[in-house]
Amino acid sequence: MRRALALALVLAAQQALAVEPSEMLSDPALEARARTLSRELRCVVCQNQSVDDSQAEVAHDIRRAVRERLVAGDTDKQVLDYMVARYGDYVLLDPPFKARTLLLWLGGPAVLLLGAAGIWLAARRKQAAPAPLSEAERRRVEELLKR
């Protein structure tokens, strides 16, 4: 139990360290908006981790850009639009479903289906019984076994 608690505290501390004190805004309302937006953006290096949780250099740059846009007076939508224009729809943890993001949405299930089909075909091949020997083949086998 103690180990689990210690592990949870270490993991929580690492995430708290992702946003550096030098990045934080003095206005608590803007900082709260920045943190909310950072949780909606994907770290393009870490892939399935939000920018708010990532310690990668590019995540630092994205967090800084979000704060700069908010200080400049942009709305949350304008900030997200700016990030999409810069990094593409992939930067969103929940990208919109459209033609350009089809691979993001359908790539995983497609790979899963292809893998399942491959396993099914391999299992089916193992179950298939070999064709019976013809009379000529049977005689040839008997002749070889007599030697």
pLDDT tens-digit series, residues 49-77: 999 888 889 989 999 999 999 999 999 99
Residue 16 pLDDT exceeds 50:
no
Distances (CA, A) of 35 to 90, 110, 128: 19, 34, 58
pLDDT confidence of residue 76: 93
pLDDT confidence of residue 15: 46
Closest CA to 78 of 62, 66, 90, 61: 66
Contact assessment for residue 91 and residue 83, using Cβ atoms and an 8 Å cutoff: yes
What is d(CA 104, CA 131) in angstroms, rounded to the nearest whole number?
45
φ, ψ for residue 50, nearest 5 deg: -70, 160
Query: Both tokens of residue 21?
Result: 């004190």
| Domain edges within the chain | 2-96, 105-147
The fold for domain 2-96 equals Helicase, Ruva Protein; domain 3 (1.10.8)
What is d(CA 144, CA 147) in angstroms, rounded to the nearest whole number?
6
pLDDT digit string (tens) for 80-119?
999 999 988 889 988 888 887 788 778 889 999 999 999 9
